[in-house]
Amino acid sequence: MDASVQHDQATIPDGDKLSSVMQTIAEHKGCGTSGGSGKASCGSGAGENDLPPEIWEKVKNHPCYSEEAHHHYARMHVAVAPACNIQCNYCNRKYDCANESRPGVVSEKLSPEQAAKKVLAVASTIPQMTVLGIAGPGDPLANPEKTFKTFELIARTAPDIKLCLSTNGLALPDHVDTIAGFNVDHVTITINMVDPEIGAKIYPWVFWKHKRYTGVEAAKLLTDRQLQGLEMLTERGILCKVNSVMIPGVNDKHLVEVNKAVKSRGAFLHNIMPLISSPEHGTVFGLTGQRGPTAQELKALQDECEGEMNMMRHCRQCRADAVGLLGEDRSAEFTTDKIMAMEVNYDIDSRKAYQEAVESERVAKVVARQEELASLAGQSSDIKLLVAVATKGSGLINEHFGHAKEFQVYELSTAGAKFVGHRRVDLYCQGGYGDEDSLETVIRAINDCHAVFVAKIGGCPKSDLQAAGIEPVDQFAHEFIEKSAIAWFKSYLDKVNSGEIQHVVRGDAEIRQGALTSAA
């Protein structure tokens, strides 16, 4: 695109100040190349001391923009934007948008008024819900009236809630001023390519200015508009996250280029997600048998890009009507019928008090991690390994093995514990008894891990895990994740050093296809 696009500075108050802030962020590599490779959960995991204070203030309670926040704070999406202006080969609109999801589950469409009511109902029930996002199921900016009407209503009735949106970027340059006017300070753009030849393999067409464009022409138009929109947002000091779908053989290697392109335009965070693809989704990629990446392929690409900028690894590729912490889905509690029957008592002060308590919990977790990390000082070893953790949130090992819908994955080394991803699993335990087939699914999902940390585990799965070479660890039940993982790693190293055990490298793991839905 034309990098010399000029924007009218007169319409951007404080443009200079904001762009200098954005420059700082662009230069700030978090755990980038400069010797920080082992810093705990860097990138999206950048904590209070890693970021400029004004940026920390923006991300500290946004679960999608801060790995640390996602253990404590919840978000919700409202499905007010069904229309879309482009077609993607990983999406099938007969069901819903594949950006967030799985087939067959049709989200309720909401009017802006219903959405505003839903936000108040959720905010009253879940006080740690701090972010309202509009992510479809189409594209928010292909439905500008509905999107901005929703923001207007929520800004009026629940002013403490952060507003956020996620777009394909085609219409973005036309709406940047309106977005800034609503004080939306987080925008996500899905950018899968910066090369139209590659784009033509991902996007069959785009609809722009009353015309359908196809092939390379369509992809060129899209990439130009995406990058222009990104520049316009970062100039205004709006934090931008870039989502990219990793499609092996199509754009996997190219995403390194995408990473550089978005970093140079001031993007704050890059989220590389695995392609969700299965024939039953009815998508083009699903039907042509295009596979998604394995856990190792995804992590290798994320690691490669992390030298360049902050990476998000805690994305759950959630639905356009998701409610709750990132790893959970409480949308079934808030259907339109239920909301209408609910007594809503939106109390900004009690929300604030609750969030202060959450904040002290978060701080306690960080302190515990740092204390434990100090005890690793002086140890040196090349060993790097992965462990899986069953958690319900709050940064604690507080989930029963059999109840876990997902496991969080940490990479342990003498530099500490670093969050590197999560694995969704089918519910293993249903109705109180174990199901053998599901246990196999769990083992496949965490096959690259040396240990799994749980609050509790039954005897049967315990021995099966051991047989698969994964150590079940329940001695740290209800303790902080990172602190416990570091303590376990210390004793692991001791055992290796004393010759009691031998360190072996684990294999690859499977990324489950399909999306997280509430338990039936």
> Could you list the residues that contact another protein (CB under 8 A)?
82-85, 87, 93-94, 109, 137-138, 142-143, 207, 210-212
Strands 162-167 and 129-134: parallel
- Cα separation, 229 vs 234, in Å, equals 9
**Nearer Cβ to another protein, position 212 or 478?**
212
- The residues with which 211 forms a beta bridge, in sequence order, are 208
Q: Whole-number minimum distance, CB 170 to another protein, in Å?
A: 12
DSSP string covering 273-328, please? Answer: EEPP--GGG--HHHHHTPPPPPHHHHHHHHHHHHTTS-EE-------TT-EESTT-
Pick the closer one to another protein by CB: 167 or 234. 167
Considering only CA atoms, give the Rg of the chain.
22
CB 223, min distance to another protein, A:
20
Neighbours of 87 (CB within 10 A): 18
Going 55 to 58 to 63 to 64, the CA torsion angle's sign is negative
**CB 315 to another protein: min, Å:** 24
Helix (H, G, I), strand (E, B) or coil at 246: strand
CB atoms inside a 10 Å sphere around CB 52? 12
CB of 485 vs another protein, minimal distance in Å: 45
Closer residue to another protein, CB minimum distance, 147 or 413 = 147
Q: Which is nearer to another protein, 71 or 146 (CB)?
A: 146
Q: Which helix (H) or strand (E) holds 420?
A: strand 416-424
Q: How far is the CB of 175 from another protein (least distance, A)?
A: 15
Residue 138 beta carbon to another protein: minimum distance, rounded to whole angstroms = 6
Nearer to another protein, 109 or 403 (CB): 109
Nearer to another protein, 170 or 326 (CB): 170
Q: Which is nearer to another protein, 84 or 449 (CB)?
A: 84
Sign of the dihedral defined by the CA atoms of residues 138, 140, 145, 146, in that order: positive
* CA atoms of 385 and 493, how far apart (whole Å): 11
